[in-house]
Amino acid sequence: MNEKILIVDDEVSIVTLLNFNMEKAGFSTDVAYDGLEAIKKAENNSYDLIILDLMLPEMDGMEVCKHLRNNKIDTPILMLTAKDEEFDKVLGLELGADDYLTKPFSPKEVIARVKAILRRTNKVSKTQYSFIQIGDLFIYPERYEAEANGEVITFTRKEFELLHYLANNKGKVISRDQLLSGVWDYDFVGDTRIVDVHVSHLREKIEPNPKKTTYIKTIRGLGYKMEDLPS
């Protein structure tokens, strides 16, 4: 295992705990203790994943995540939060985090989440398809982009993974629980609002008219379906 992890937290005890257990699990690690240091390291180094605490000095985790995504740095992010409000979790995912974990946590759980994110990332990057066409929409898995009517559409990593999953199952009705399992790769304990938020974002980006959907249909009481439109 050669994956390199950036650990960002201002609590020395947390950094020490994560650093020890990540290296024990076979990862190489780097650390940052505030938001600005995290941004500098993420912009100047290549990491496979970032473990990012929400509450940081200089710049909090939400702002760090937003900055990285706005600057096209798509390194997967596992966000740590001591808060348990649904708003914080969903907002973090909306800003481009790939997953979240609420403190206190066990090192084994962190490692399991990290491996799940990397597993999903590798599945998409190693896909055998050069592109997937659905109607006027062209989806490019290796670029995490799509094109429609000659315009390039960009996504957060999780938005794209959701689009890719729906496209690979076009014509099939997929439940929210199936999407949680297939895209997030672990059980979100029934928090299906996360799926709805990401579907809403996808529609804003790919639908000619988000209020009258062409590509992603809601199947009431069941889930969502990517229409199998003729090319």
81-113 per-position pLDDT tens digit: 886 655 567 777 778 888 888 888 899 999 999
pLDDT tens for 33-61 read: 999 999 999 999 999 999 999 989 989 99
223 vs 127, 177, 187, 217, 227, CA distance in Å?
25, 9, 17, 9, 13
Residue segments in the chain with a per-residue pLDDT below the cut of 50 = 128
Domains in the chain: ranges and CATH:
4-124 (3.40.50.2300), 132-226 (1.10.10.10)
The whole-number pLDDT of residue 186 equals 63
**Cα–Cα distance between 138 and 209 in angstroms, integer?**
17
For residue 155, what are the CA distances in angstroms to 19, 46, 94, 143, 164? 30, 20, 11, 10, 11
CA atoms of 126 and 121, how far apart (whole Å): 9
Locate 138 and state its tokens.
């062209």
Q: Tokens 């997929």 belong to which residue?
A: 174
Q: What is the pLDDT of residue 102?
A: 86
How far is 179 from 183, CA to CA, in rounded Å?
6
Structure confidence at residue 37 (pLDDT): 97
pLDDT at 18: 96
pLDDT at 25: 93
**Do 57 and 34 touch, CB atoms closer than 8 A?**
yes
Residue 231, number of CB atoms within 10 A of its CB: 8
Q: What is the pLDDT of residue 87?
A: 52
What local confidence, expressed as pLDDT, does residue 101 receive? 87
Q: Angle of helix 157-168 relative to helix 176-183, nearest 10 degrees?
A: 120
